[in-house]
A and B are shown apart, each in its own frame.
Chain A
Amino acid sequence: MAQVVVRNVSKVHIPLKGEPLLALHGVSFHVEDNEFFSIVGPSGCGKTTLLNLLAGFETPTRGELLVGGQTIREPGWERAVVFQEYALFPWYTVVQNIAYGLKRKRLPEAEQRDLTDHYIGLVGLRGFEKRYPRELSGGMRQRVSIARALAVKPSILLMDEPFASLDIQTREFMQDELLKIWQRERKTVIFVTHSIDEAIKLSDRVAIMTPRPGHIEEIKTVDSARPRDMTHAAMVQLAADVKRWLRQQLFESTPA
């Protein structure tokens, strides 16, 4: 049901001033049910644009994006998004933020309460139910954001550099937490990041994008058991290979 197919997608951004920009060109890939799929690449490679297309926030200029055989036309809870800057509603408390999607789904009050409570526990925010987002640390905010997205039971979780603004300890901790949650609540995750290590640590497959125009150069499979030790020789080797390869693509293909 949650199989994602992206077929020959191009996206042109038309700025208010200046030349139109080809943000994506001829992007094709598919993501299997319950797969953890990462999209990695330098800033400006179009990975966020790709995620916006998958979320339904934008429409492709050419090509098509399908979920379970259906064209993506608009945003919806079956493709919940976790944003880099959390995008929590400042006027709602932790509980209200997590219950937001449940209210929109018109679930019975009791079910809303149970689900909200479950996900507050899952992300370890008990005791913080009545806090407003501004009263939380960055890591806690992102946990609320993840709980809010999970609570609507999406078939696909779209994550746009969710840990990029966290410090390194919190980030590693959140990565482990995300894996635990993903293993417990099997679902498809499409995870955008600029960190190759993060992508390799988390994903079944890693799509590597290059910019101008945004394009998927290669998709690597990581078939090592989780949790992965990123200090392990095989992981170090893989990350180094990808980095070297990406550097070549970025700096040696263009004339200096």
Chain B
Amino acid sequence: MSRVELNASGTSRDLSAAARVAEDSAALAATLIPPPPPAWRRVANRLVHLWLLTLFLVVWELVSTLGVRINPQLDVMLPPPTAVFSAAQELMARGVLITHIADSLRRVLVAVGVGAILGIPLGLAMGWSAGFRASVDPLLEFIRPIPPLAWIPLSILWFGIGDTQNEYIIFLAAFFPIVLNAMAGARDVDTYLVRAGLSLGARRRDLFLTVVLPASLPNIFTGLRVGLGIGWMALVAGELVAAPTGLGFMINNARTLFRSDYILLGMVLIGILGLVLDFLMRQVSAIAMPWYRR
């Protein structure tokens, strides 16, 4: 190995040479990789992954349409996907389906939004300060196991009948995963990063904004995704009382009307909305954390 000469003038000549070589090799690498497949190929490759979902729908359709010959009650017990689809067309034509979707979406977003605004700072504070955590934790863990459904009577007394009461129930479900994940994020910040910050002159407030918050972001996003998912799970409970619209209301209402096709439609739509929002949330997290390894 050749020794690196000490030269008073140049700043590490061989290092910048190494940097140039790295750039050249990056350019070379770009010419060596195979061209990306055409767009239709990429779409096709993705669609292949839908085979299981397709199989599921086909089996469901067959079980329902063939099974009804053996057991006529299956007509109500498990309407086929095609029946769910015509129910969607019917409610769409009557103009109510969009309202149901929009109102549920709004309630979930408001509830999770408030959960994030309250839950993220609370969780970060709990993760950052062991003393604060020790005080808040018992209260939080005491409230957490209480089912959102159990809150319905009191919440009516507090918020009356209307959107706020509906949103409060959904909020209760979404709040805790948001808090607990933010807390885990702030608590598990690498000691070395905190020390690096301190030894570079950061004060506590700087540390929070430049180290603790960014280090917690992956956990915060996990909390938001879980909270959003659980928010949807609480939708039926949230819209149990006095909501005149919404997918949860629709499901409850259909129960009294014996319209299981409406019930299944509500369930399917909640599933789709949850999927779409989770996808969007992952896009947002990718934009917010370009540095994060997935």
Once the chains are docked, how many angstroms separate the CA of A75 from the CA of B3?
37
Q: Among B11, B201, B215, B290, point to the contact of A152 (Cβ < 8 A).
A: B201
A89 and B206 contacting across the interface, CB-CB below 8 Å: no
Given contacts A87-B195, A123-B12, contact A128 B19 (CB under 8 A): yes
Interface 0/1 of A55-69, CB less than 8 Å to B: 111000000000000
Interface 0/1 of B8-26, CB less than 8 Å to A: 0001101110111011000
Given contacts A85-B192, A91-B214, contact A173 B4 (CB under 8 A): yes
**B289 at interface (Cβ–Cβ under 8 A)?**
yes
Q: What A residues does B198 contact at CB under 8 A? A: 56-57, 74-76
A104 and B201 contacting across the interface, CB-CB below 8 Å: yes
Interface size range of chain A in the complex: 35 or more
- Interface residue ranges of B1-54 to A (CB < 8 Å): 1, 3-4, 6, 11-12, 14-16, 18-20, 22-23
Q: Among B193, B199, B289, point to the contact of A75 (Cβ < 8 A).
A: B199
Q: What A residues does B19 contact at CB under 8 A? A: 124-128
B289 and A91 contacting across the interface, CB-CB below 8 Å: yes
B6 and A81 contacting across the interface, CB-CB below 8 Å: no
Once the chains are docked, how many angstroms separate the CA of A89 from the CA of B212?
11
Once the chains are docked, how many angstroms separate the CA of A91 from the CA of B217?
10
Given contacts A87-B193, A124-B15, A125-B19, contact A79 B291 (CB under 8 A): no
**B200 at interface (Cβ–Cβ under 8 A)?**
yes
A121 and B11 contacting across the interface, CB-CB below 8 Å: yes
CB distance from A138 to the nearest CB of B (A): 14
**A176 at interface (Cβ–Cβ under 8 A)?**
yes
Once the chains are docked, how many angstroms separate the CA of A121 from the CA of B291?
23
**A44 at interface (Cβ–Cβ under 8 A)?**
no
Q: What A residues does B1 contact at CB under 8 A? A: 169, 172
B201 and A77 contacting across the interface, CB-CB below 8 Å: yes
Once the chains are docked, how many angstroms separate the CA of A32 from the CA of B190?
33
Once the chains are docked, how many angstroms separate the CA of A219 from the CA of B258?
89
A83 and B201 contacting across the interface, CB-CB below 8 Å: no
Nearest B residue to A84 via CB reads B192
State the interface size on chain B (CB cutoff 8 A).
Answer: 37
A83 and B196 contacting across the interface, CB-CB below 8 Å: yes
**B211 at interface (Cβ–Cβ under 8 A)?**
yes
Nearest A residue to B17 via CB reads A124
**A134 at interface (Cβ–Cβ under 8 A)?**
yes
Nearest A residue to B26 via CB reads A127
Q: What B residues does A121 contact at CB under 8 A? A: 11, 16
CB distance from B199 to the nearest CB of A (A): 4
Interface 0/1 of A156-196, CB less than 8 Å to B: 00100000000001001100110010010000000000000
A180 and B6 contacting across the interface, CB-CB below 8 Å: yes
Nearest A residue to B190 via CB reads A87
**A21 at interface (Cβ–Cβ under 8 A)?**
no
Once the chains are docked, how many angstroms separate the CA of A124 from the CA of B14?
8
A134 and B291 contacting across the interface, CB-CB below 8 Å: yes
Given contacts A124-B11, A125-B19, contact A89 B201 (CB under 8 A): no
CB distance from A160 to the nearest CB of B (A): 10
**A13 at interface (Cβ–Cβ under 8 A)?**
no
**A101 at interface (Cβ–Cβ under 8 A)?**
yes
Q: What A residues does B201 contact at CB under 8 A? A: 76-77, 101, 104-105, 152
**B283 at interface (Cβ–Cβ under 8 A)?**
no
B199 and A55 contacting across the interface, CB-CB below 8 Å: yes
CB distance from A13 to the nearest CB of B (A): 15
Nearest A residue to B198 via CB reads A75
Interface 0/1 of A40-63, CB less than 8 Å to B: 000000000000000111000000
- Interface residue ranges of A89-137 to B (CB < 8 Å): 89-92, 100-101, 104-105, 121-128, 132-134
Among B6, B190, B293, the one with the most A-chain Cβ atoms within 10 Å of its Cβ is B6
Once the chains are docked, how many angstroms separate the CA of A62 from the CA of B4?
44
B6 and A177 contacting across the interface, CB-CB below 8 Å: no
Once the chains are docked, how many angstroms separate the CA of A23 from the CA of B290?
41
Nearest B residue to A173 via CB reads B4
Q: What A residues does B73 contact at CB under 8 A? A: none
A122 and B291 contacting across the interface, CB-CB below 8 Å: no
Once the chains are docked, how many angstroms separate the CA of A133 from the CA of B289?
13
**B210 at interface (Cβ–Cβ under 8 A)?**
yes
Q: What A residues does B290 contact at CB under 8 A? A: 132
Which B residues form the contact surface with A (CB < 8 A)?
A: 1, 3-4, 6, 11-12, 14-16, 18-20, 22-23, 190, 192-193, 195-203, 206, 210-211, 214-215, 217, 289-293
6 contacts between A and B (CB under 8 A): A87-B195, A91-B289, A100-B210, A176-B3, A177-B15, A227-B6
Listed from nearest, the 10 A-B pairs whose CB atoms lie closest are A124-B15, A101-B200, A104-B201, A75-B198, A77-B201, A87-B192, A87-B196, A91-B214, A132-B291, A81-B199
Given contacts A124-B11, A180-B4, 18 further A-B contacts (CB under 8 A): A55-B199, A77-B201, A89-B193, A89-B197, A91-B289, A91-B291, A101-B200, A104-B200, A104-B203, A104-B206, A125-B19, A127-B19, A132-B291, A143-B15, A152-B200, A173-B4, A177-B12, A227-B6
